[in-house]
C-alpha cells in the first residue's frame, strides 16, 4: 500500500499554493481506479497495513499525526473518517468535531480550542472541521467576527492574511515538535451535493442528516470556493500539505484518504522500540518464574 501510495496521491497534493487553482481538480475524478470493487479491496489492504503502523506509532511514542478534514456539507467527511479509520485501535485515535464556538472559546483566540485537542505523541488526531473555519465560514459570513470580541482596531482589511500567517506559524511549530500534519479538502461538486441533499430529504433514515441551513449555505457556493482556494494557496507547505480530494465518488475519496495516511505513516520509518540487554534479562527471568509457578 505505502509503496504505491506516493504516485497515487501526488496529483492531489498541494505543497506550494502559489499556482494552485481549485478548478484544476475535477470532483468526479477517480485517477487510475476504475471500479468501486477495486477500490474496496485496496482500502481493506490499506487499513490492515495502517493498523500495524498505528501500533508502531503508539509503541515508539515519538511522533503524532494530525489529520484535518474540511469540506462543504454532504461531501462525505464523516463517512471517510468512519470507513478509513474503522480498523484502527480507538485507544490510539482522538476525534474532535468542531462546531460553532462556545462562550468560553469565544473568550480566547481562534486557535485556542484546537490547541486543546492536539494529539499526544504516539496518537492520531482527527479534526472534523478545524481552525480553518475561521478563514472559511467567517470569511463568507464576516458578521461572525462580531461575536469574537476582537478590538475594533484589529478588524482591518488584513485580518484574513494575518490569520493565514497565524495558521502557518502554528502548523510550522507543530511540525518542528513532532506532529505530522495532513490536511484534506474533500472537493464535491455543486450538482453532487444537491443529489445527496435530495437523498437526505427523500429517505426517512437520512432525514436526521439534513438541516435547512445547508440549503441556505448553497447560496454562497462561489464565495466558499473562493475562500477555500485562498486558504489552500496561503497555507500549503511541504510540512503541512493540503490534499484536494475529488469527492463525487465516495469510494474513491475513502481510498485516497487512506493512501495519504499510509504515505504519512510510511514517511516516519516506524519500528517497535528495541529491547535493551537489561530488559531482555528481566523478561527471561520473568518467563522462567512464570513457567515454574503453579
Residue 68 has a pLDDT of 98
Sheet holding 179-187: strands in order across? 13-14, 242-246, 179-187, 64-71, 124-128, 93-97
Pairwise CA distance, residues 178 & 244, whole Å: 24
Single pTM value for the model = 0.93
Residue 130 has a pLDDT of 97
Mean pLDDT by 10 residues, the chain (294 residues): 77 95 97 92 94 95 98 96 90 92 94 96 97 97 92 94 98 98 98 94 82 88 98 98 98 96 95 87 88 84
Nearest CA-CA partner of 78 in 94, 95, 101, 102: 95
Residue 269 burial class via C-beta count within 10 angstroms: exposed 0-12, middle 13-18, buried 19 and up: exposed
Residue 153 burial class via C-beta count within 10 angstroms: exposed 0-12, middle 13-18, buried 19 and up: exposed
Let me know: does 172 contact 181? Beta carbons within 8 Å: no
Let me know: does 191 contact 174? Beta carbons within 8 Å: no
Residue 241 has a pLDDT of 98
Pairwise CA distance, residues 34 & 52, whole Å: 28
For residue 80 the three cell numbers come to 471517510
Strand-pair category, 64-71 with 242-246: unpaired
The pairs formed by 96-102 with CB atoms below 8 angstroms and a separation of 24 or more are 96/125, 96/126, 96/127, 96/128, 97/128, 97/129, 98/127, 98/128, 98/129, 98/130, 98/133, 99/129
Amino acid at each position: 500500500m505505502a509503496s504505491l501510495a506516493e504516485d497515487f496521491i501526488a496529483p492531489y497534493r498541494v505543497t506550494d499554493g502559489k499556482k494552485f487553482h481549485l478548478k484544476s481538480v475535477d470532483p468526479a475524478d477517480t485517477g487510475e481506479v476504475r471500479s468501486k470493487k477495486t477500490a474496496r479491496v485496496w482500502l481493506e489492504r490499506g487499513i490492515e497495513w495502517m493498523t500495524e503502523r498505528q501500533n508502531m506509532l503508539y509503541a515508539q511514542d515519538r511522533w503524532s499525526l494530525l489529520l484535518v478534514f474540511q469540506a462543504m456539507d454532504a461531501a462525505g467527511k464523516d463517512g471517510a473518517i468512519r470507513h478509513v479509520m474503522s480498523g484502527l485501535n480507538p485507544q490510539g485515535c482522538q476525534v474532535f468535531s468542531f462546531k460553532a464556538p462556545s462562550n468560553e472559546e469565544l473568550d480566547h483566540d481562534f486557535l485556542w480550542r484546537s490547541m486543546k485537542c492536539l494529539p499526544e505523541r504516539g496518537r492520531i488526531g482527527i479534526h472534523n472541521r478545524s481552525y480553518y473555519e475561521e478563514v472559511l465560514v467567517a470569511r463568507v459570513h464576516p458578521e461572525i467576527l462580531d461575536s469574537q470580541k476582537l478590538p475594533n482596531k484589529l478588524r482591518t482589511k488584513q485580518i484574513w492574511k494575518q490569520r493565514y500567517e497565524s495558521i502557518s506559524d502554528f502548523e510550522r511549530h507543530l511540525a518542528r515538535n513532532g506532529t505530522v500534519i495532513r490536511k484534506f479538502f474533500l472537493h464535491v461538486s455543486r450538482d453532487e451535493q444537491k443529489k445527496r441533499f435530495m437523498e437526505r430529504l427523500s429517505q426517512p433514515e437520512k432525514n436526521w442528516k439534513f438541516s435547512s441551513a445547508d440549503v441556505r449555505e448553497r447560496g454562497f457556493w462561489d464565495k466558499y470556493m473562493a475562500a477555500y482556494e485562498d486558504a489552500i494557496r496561503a497555507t500549503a507547505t511541504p510540512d503541512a500539505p493540503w490534499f484536494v480530494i475529488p469527492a463525487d465518488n465516495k469510494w474513491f475519496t475513502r481510498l485516497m484518504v487512506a493512501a495519504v495516511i499510509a504515505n504519512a505513516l510510511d514517511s516516519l520509518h516506524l519500528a517497535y522500540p528495541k529491547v535493551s540487554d537489561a530488559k531482555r534479562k528481566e523478561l527471561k527471568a520473568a518467563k522462567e518464574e512464570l513457567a515454574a509457578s503453579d
